Each structure stands twice: as C-alpha cells, then as structure tokens.
Structure 1
C-alpha cells in the first residue's frame, strides 16, 4: 500500500512539472503534504506565548508549502519533505513577524535581560548563571524562567528573510547560509586521515588494527580481541605498548609541529 502511494505521488509530481498551471494537480500535492504543515505549525505554536492562533500559523504554512511546490526542482535529487519544511516554517515566522505578536512589554523585558547578561558577563568574565541573572533583575526563579521563555521567542528568525541582495534573479536568503551541523567538514576529514597515517606509520597489521578499531571505530578491548583472535588482556597490553611508543615518537618529532 505504501509503495503504491509513493508511486502515485511521484506520478503527480511528474505531471505537475509538465504543466504547473494545473490547479487540480497542485491541490493534490498540497493535500498530500498538508500533514507536514500542521505538524510544524503545532511545534512552532507550542513554543509561543498565549494569544497566537494555531490556525493562523497553519494558513501561513500552506502558503509556504504552495511556494515550495512551485519552486521545487525534481532533478536536484533532494526529497521534497526536506526541501519544503524550512520554507513552511519560514512562512510561519514571517507571519508572526507581520502580526508583531510579541508584546512591547516582553520586548522591553528581553532587552533588560540582555543588558543584565552583558553586564554580569563583563564583571565575572564568564556567562552568568540563571540565579545570578534573576538576582540582578530582582526576580524570583519562577518569574525569571517565564521571562526567559518569552524573551527567547523574540529572537525567532525567518529562514525566508533576505540575507543580502544579489545581481542575479534569485536573492540569497537566511536558509541558504544556515550551517549544516550534520555535514562533515571536508578539511576535518582530511586532517583525521593525516593523523591516522602519522599514528599508524611503523606499526604492524595487528597494531594498526588495534589503534583504528579502538580510536576510530570505538570498539571495546574485548570486541577487538574477538576480531583479531586475541585475549582481551593481550589487546590491552599491546595497546599500552603502542601508546607508549607513539608518545615517545611524537615527543621526538615535536619540533616539526612547532
């Protein structure tokens, strides 16, 4: 059943991209992905103070979904769900900003909180604790927690907001410059490989495997022993010996890294 639905949706996408003026096909896509709108609207709404209507967020999210459907490029190999969610949430945050739903009093308190944080950080040379901030602002812990929760909502940023203007037809938006925290830095990957080559140079097969399996694959001594056909105590002895030799080698080569 699941496979059939996926095939149908793929067929709808293909037909829609041939004729994007076809309202019926677009409505079928909107209906299929509407649960994503509701799910994200509820997540955003749950973090907001009282007074924001969930239906307003859903309506804004639908417009974000419609824009995503129009702009989606099937040839880029990206799942539509991955592509559309930031745009749905961005449309919701744009709507919140247009509504100016954050009361002026909350904005004022948020500014005072930030001023108190900066003052205490300058005085102590470190970020202040919540207790220090609450005492500075003469608030109880419960009052401070409420203020902190409300103030955090002031800093919401729309991912659809323009980051800077360009000469091309497409502006660069916040979502285009958000760092992918899950992606691996290629420079870091090269450094890891270089370090592994340096560390394992001059080691025999079993010694190299012990280092790689223990530090890179994060296996236990027991698991390494089972892999190499050695006892756990023997692996531990070899590991200690290898580490001692490596420390001596790196100590002698320290001038090279200065």
Structure 2
C-alpha cells in the first residue's frame, strides 16, 4: 500500500494547528468556566464546565476556516460559553416555553456572530430580533432555568431576601394576651372612668373636648383621667407600664 507523504504532512499540520489553538485558548475556557460557575448556578462542578468548554474549543479549532484570529476568538468564545450553559440547562429543570426562548436567543446570537465576526451587543441583538432592550432583558430572564436549593444552603440571617417585618408568633401571642388583660382591666372600671379612657386614648380627644362631652370642667376631666390610670395600674400590676 502506498501513502502520499504530502497527505501525512497535511494531517500532521492540521493536528498541530488544532493543538496549538487549544493551548492558547485554554485560559479563556477557564475564565468562562469560572464566570458561569460563579453566576449562581448550583449543581455543576467547575471541572465539568471546563471539560465541556474544552470539547467545544476542540470542535471550533477543527471546523473554523476563518482567516483572522480575532474572528476565531469571537466564534470560540461564543461556542465555549454556549456549551457550558447547555450543560447547565441539561441538568436544570426548564419548561418547554423557556427552552424555546433560549433556543431562539441562541440561534439569533450565533447568526449575528457569524455575520459580524464577533459576539453581538445587546443593542444589535435586540434590533435583529425586533425587540427593545427591555423586552430582550425580559426574554433572557424568562429563558433562565429554574433553580432549586435547599433552604439550609440558601438561608442567611443577614440577607434582606429573608427579611420580614411582621412580628413572630411569640410576639403575636404576647400582644393578644396583653390586649385581653388590658381590656378586662378597663371593663372592671366604673362606667364614667371607662368613658374617659375611651375618649382620651381611643378617640384621641383632648381634655377640653372630653369636658364638653361629659359636661364637666377641664380640671374634673383631669381628675377622672388620673383616677382611671391609678385604678388600671392597680388592676394590671407591676408587669404593665401605664402612663
């Protein structure tokens, strides 16, 4: 069997060129893996992302026929990152509609990248898809996969995402008990003193207005108010501060 020496030389040069590109763009693969891994997507190891990126980089090096190195860099970056995101997508739950939106974004992005020789800007992509920048941002958000994390991993007392200004159950029970005790103490007052407490603390009338309602003098209202508060302090005990 005869072998053409030129064929062996071409094949060797092809392999050497591919290996050289992989070595030169390996740092890019690692940077992209760190970026994707650090963007909050749980459940995927960094090494798995790097491996997926290397496979995509190898395929790019073998298939790319562009003349410029810048064109290859833009093409490779897009494909490598796409491979990493696809790996995450395969391991994350996603609705069919979200998958369709993601596919639409990817197809338009790849088409523009081939036409421009670089990754398109958000403005260029939005224009090509007939969308506004706000609509494109909404589309990207709707195309993201769902993420499920255990509450132990996600919860943080210092995170405002878990902040709640509502009182806890103990505070609610204590407040309910306080209202019950205070209500019972007020009900035990003479009717006239109950009226003073109602008008002053609930209706928020001043002493002159209460005097007009009760048809007594202002000093008399002041005296009745003092009597009511003294009786409440006696009924409620030391656990309550009545002012």
TM-score range, shorter chain: 0.3 to 0.5
Larger relative contact order (Cα-Cα within 8 Å, sequence gap ≥ 6): 2
Report the TM-score, using the length of structure 1 for normalisation.
Answer: 0.34
Larger Rg: 2
